[in-house]
Structure 1
């Protein structure tokens, strides 16, 4: 169960203000709270979390136990870099009403975001891909629902600073994991 809770907390922190959440909030603010947008966002969160968990399961079978922690540290580091470097773009000026196009955009955004790197890394590092995938799906659903229900919450200027602080925290966690694995810390 620790893998579930730790992954859930990490996904909630890393996913706040991410590109997919800004896209969902932008559509909800511009078009109103269409239930179809929420359903597509929930589907996308579940699919990408399942994909990250599936990849973690494949990687888990290939890596010996000492390498799993190092691999998890690399995933944490990538998640931290993503949070620092990739800033969410502004809300779409002319969004489409197509739910299929929204699904493709969300899948593309979520495939390489910090939250999915965390699901992948925690699944490998804690040897619990199913628990990490389930936690990632729940966390992604909570983030998508929050963006849909309160799009005004993502208008805050401090949002970029929150993402940067979370990114620095993830990089620090990756560094500590590396140092502990090599018995330096």
Structure 2
């Protein structure tokens, strides 16, 4: 149960102001709250969380227990670097009405974003890929729903600062976890 709660909270923090949220909020602001946009976003969040969960289950079978936390620290570090370095795109100038194209864009932006790295890291580090995957899908769904229902919040300038702050915290947490597991600290 701790893997579920920790992953859920970490996904909510790491996913705020991300590229997928900017895409969803941009479409919702321009076209209005179309239910199809929300359904495509929820499907994408579920599929990418399931993919991260599957990858975590695969890695659990490959790694010995002592190496799992170090590998999880690397994944958390990648999540932090992704939040610090990659800047979300601006709102689309000419959004398409195609829900299939939206789904592909969301899948491409979510497949290696900070929230999915967190799902992967928690699944490996806590040896609970299913709980982490469910929490990641739920957290991703809440983030997508928030961007769809309240497009002004996810595109506010404060969202970028929150995203960078969470990225810095994730990098620090990864460094501490790595040093602790390497018996340096």
Give the TM-score normalised by structure 1.
Answer: 0.99
- Alpha-carbon distance in structure 2 between the residues aligned to 1:104 and 1:161: 27
Cα displacement string for residues 123-158 of structure 1 (whole angstroms, at most 9, x for unaligned residues): 000000000000000000000000000001123212
Q: Does 1:113 align with 2:131?
A: no
- Alpha-carbon distance in structure 2 between the residues aligned to 1:75 and 1:155: 26
The equivalent residue for 1:96 is 96
Is residue 41–residue 106 contact of structure 2 (8 Å, CA) maintained in 1? yes
- Alpha-carbon distance in structure 1 between the residues aligned to 2:153 and 2:3: 29
User: Unaligned 5+ residue runs, structure 2?
Assistant: none
Cα displacement string for residues 58-92 of structure 1 (whole angstroms, at most 9, x for unaligned residues): 00000000100000000000000000000101100
Q: How many positions carry a matched residue from both structures?
A: 185
Mapping 1:121-140, distance limit 5 Å = 121-140=121-140
Cα displacement string for residues 89-130 of structure 1 (whole angstroms, at most 9, x for unaligned residues): 110000000000000000000001000000001100000000
Mapping 1:37-56, distance limit 5 Å = 37-56=37-56
Is residue 153–residue 159 contact of structure 2 (8 Å, CA) maintained in 1? no
SS in 1 for 2:45: helix
User: Unaligned 5+ residue runs, structure 1?
Assistant: none
Give the TM-score normalised by structure 2.
Answer: 0.99
- Alpha-carbon distance in structure 2 between the residues aligned to 1:92 and 1:86: 17
SS in 2 for 1:51: helix
SS in 1 for 2:88: coil
- Alpha-carbon distance in structure 2 between the residues aligned to 1:92 and 1:61: 41
Could you list the structure 1 runs, at least 4 aligned residues long, displaced by more than 3 angstroms after superposition: none
The equivalent residue for 1:151 is 151
